[in-house]
A and B are shown apart, each in its own frame.
Chain A
Amino acid sequence: MPFASALHLTTHFHKHGHRFGAATENDYEKMAEAFMSQPLHADLYECTRTDGDRIRLEGITHYYGVAYDVTIIRTFHIRDAHGIAMRGGPAGFVAHKCRE
């Protein structure tokens, strides 16, 4: 499940990779793939937008990912707690992102 292009991966790694402790673009991409493909569990919130984007937020770590066409990752980063709290918590945040 890769990013759409090398440039997409590079820009996202450059912006977010350090927060995951990812040393390389490849490491970062694998973490994103693992996050978006892992089975749902109690703390993992997911919804699918009408445009097909699949959104995931992990309620404890605040890891956040968006993928489309099942296999293409748009973003993988860590949300700030304040933004999640503003939407009433992880469930509310994901629901809000799905409505946008």
Chain B
Amino acid sequence: MFECPVCLYPELPYPASDYNICPCCGTEFGLDDEFRTFAELRHEWVVQGAKWFLLEPPVGWNPWSQLIAEEVLVGENRSHMTFQSGEPSIAAIPVKSIALGDVTVWGLPTTLGTPAGAHIPAVHYGIFQPLDIHFGIAEMVQPFRGQFAIGQPFNTPTAGVFSLVSQEPAIYSAEPFNGLINVVSAGDRQPFSVGVQVAKSYPTTIGDFGQAYEELAFAS
């Protein structure tokens, strides 16, 4: 098996060349990549919803976990973890190079199996290092706009990708520092994944989250 260099599908049955077409993202190698890079093609695929190309996807196929597994969505200033189903737990996600700017917490509950309308495990977070500065009020971006407070359980109103962005970037030191963001799972029935991003200008968008991401208008 081969790996698709565009969508990172790990079971490409032939090399990514010679006009072979990835059944996952539909990239035809030698045609679609003539004038566009793999990263550009990936971006296009993602913002269009990262849909399976050929007929029905394999059982259990998940584009986001596929990308996350390959760390495409987990760059230098990103990290993530996945909560397993029915396991109340807390995790401190390390975040590098926090400085002036936005910090985003993002999650992919639907893509990890949570049905629409279902309860999403509570998520709350805060930055505790090195100065015990709490990461205060954040605002959810669409489609789940609302207030988010440190230490308070957070429930997404519906299943879906969510993202939070800090409204208080100025509290941070101009010197970058590393921190931790605590994410708490209430132990719901479905597994879900959350991540943390210190974003200045990260190029990747991810589906519905990508739409929200665009609205963040990260300062560069």
A11 touches B54 (CB 8 A): yes
B34 touches A83 (CB 8 A): yes
The closest CB in chain B to the CB of A66 belongs to B19
Q: How many of chain A's residues have a CB under 8 angstroms from any CB in B? A: 12
A77 touches B31 (CB 8 A): yes
The closest CB in chain B to the CB of A12 belongs to B21
Across-interface contacts of B23 in A (CB, < 8 A): 7, 11
Q: Which of A7, A75, A83 contacts B28 (CB 8 A)?
A: A75
Residues of chain A in range 1-53 having any CB-CB distance to chain B below 8 Å:
7-8, 10-12, 14-15
B20 at the interface (CB under 8 A from A): yes
Instruction: How many A-B residue pairs have C-beta atoms within 8 angstroms? Tell me.
Output: 35
B30 at the interface (CB under 8 A from A): yes
Rounded to whole angstroms, the CA-CA distance of A75 and B19 in the bound complex is 6
B13 touches A7 (CB 8 A): yes
A62 at the interface (CB under 8 A from B): no
CB distance from A74 to the nearest CB of B (A): 4
Rounded to whole angstroms, the CA-CA distance of A15 and B35 in the bound complex is 18
Known: A7-B13, A15-B28. A74 touches B19 (CB 8 A): yes
A44-77 interface bits toward B, Cβ cutoff 8 Å, 1 = contact, 0 = none: 0000000000000000000000100000001101
